Amino acid sequence: QSVLTQPPSASGPPGQRVTISCSGGRSNIGDNPVSWYQVLPGTAPKLVIYNNDQRPSGIPDRLSGSKSGTSASLAIGGLQSEDEADYHCASWDGSLNGVVFGGGTKLTVL
Amino acid sequence: VHLQESGPGLVKPSETLSLTCTVSGGSVINPNWWGWVRQFPGAGLEYIGETFHDRSSNYNPSLHGRVTVSIDRPYNRFSLRLDSMTAADTAMYFCVRGATQAPAHRILGAFDIWGQGVMVAVSS
């Protein structure tokens, strides 16, 4: 059972905008920044958002992150087939003194 | 910076798992945290633990003291030790680097470099 809660799946047709949610508590998302990871089949996770809304170099601006209270969201605009992957949110948890992850959301491009 | 895991792909129940992550293109004494994350088959990611070059460390409390992460400076690598392995520990194990922002401020929850991963099965 993951500390952070994500929907198991999300989908949308090419070109559309999809949002994935991540819900936590005060000790993690409420007090600390959120990161998002993209996991393509057979590959290692890739950091796509950090500090709630910052993109590492090379990540397209079609991906954006936001946070409000104890919840966060990842939005992917202009869906492309290459976006089909699992997306995991993460945050530091001050009570556990470590990183906690969401269970992951499988994004399907219809 | 590139990370490469090495270690056994099969461990017997009750035995200890030892994995090593070799760092190339960078140094383990840089101001980064170095750690391990695992992914269970068909499931989410789990933080295992991490360490800093000053020997500070953080571990997932759900592992009940079975884990040790340490840095081996002469060989520019870091290691994971997980005791009393059970079938529930079967997973893909990744070594990771904690991300920082200049000059050396840690970005909490962000791991910017990952190894390719090593699959570890626990079976007799």
Q: Could you tell me if A51 lies within 8 Å of chain B, comparing CB atoms? A: yes
| Residue A41: predicted pLDDT | 87
Which pLDDT band holds residue B23 (cuts at 50, 70, 90)? very high
The Cα of A22 is separated from the nearest Cα of chain B by a number of Å equal to 13
Q: Which residues of A are less than 8 Å from B105 in CB distance?
A: none
Residue B50 CB-density burial (10 A; 0-12 exposed, 13-18 middle, 19+ buried): buried
What are the CA-CA distances from residue A101 to residues A49, A55, A96, B23, B45 (Å)?
14, 18, 12, 25, 6
Pull the structure tokens for residue B18.
């030892």
Q: pLDDT for B28-49, tens place per residue?
A: 999 999 999 999 988 889 999 9
| Residue B64: predicted pLDDT | 86
Check whether B61 has a pLDDT greater than 80. yes
Which distant-in-sequence residues (6+ apart) come within 8 Å of B96 by Cβ? B3, B34, B35, B36, B37, B50, B111, B113, B114, B115
Pull the structure tokens for residue B103.
């000059």
Question: pLDDT tens per residue, chain A (110 residues)?
Answer: 899 999 999 999 999 999 999 999 999 999 999 999 999 988 999 999 999 999 999 999 999 999 999 999 999 999 999 999 999 999 999 999 999 999 999 999 99
A97: left (phi over 0), alpha (psi -120 to 50) or beta: left
Q: Which residues of A are less than 8 Å from B44 in CB distance?
A: 2, 88, 101-104
Check whether B11 has a pLDDT greater than 90. yes
Q: Could you tell me if A106 lies within 8 Å of chain B, comparing CB atoms? A: no
Q: pLDDT for B62-115, tens place per residue?
A: 998 999 999 999 999 999 999 999 999 999 999 999 999 877 789 999 999 999
State the number of CA atoms in the 13 A half-sphere of A23 facing the CB.
4
Q: Which residues of A are less than 8 Å from B2 in CB distance?
A: none
Could you say which of B59, B107, B115 has the minimum Cβ distance to residue A50?
Answer: B107
Q: How far apart are CA A57 and CA A48, in angstroms?
A: 9
